[in-house]
Amino acid sequence: MKDANEFFDAEKPEKQKFPQEKKYDQKIVDATLIKLVESIPDLKTYLGARFSIKYGMKPHKLVF
């Protein structure tokens, strides 16, 4: 009969490591996007704004 530690240790799935090349690629993409977002006035604020639809609002009639 297995004790509790053996039982719970056996069920843990192995964590897969994220490939280093994907981390590197993501850093390049992030750096490019950050430069673009900072170059456009108010874009950072716009992207960070909370968006919600309240009761009675019709999404197809919203004007931005």
Number of Cβ within 10 Å of residue 27's Cβ equals 10
Q: What is the pLDDT of residues 13-26, one digit of tens each?
A: 777 888 899 999 99
Rg of the Cα atoms in the chain: 23
Q: Which stretches in the chain have pLDDT values below 50?
A: none
3-state secondary structure of 13: coil
* pTM check: above 0.75: no
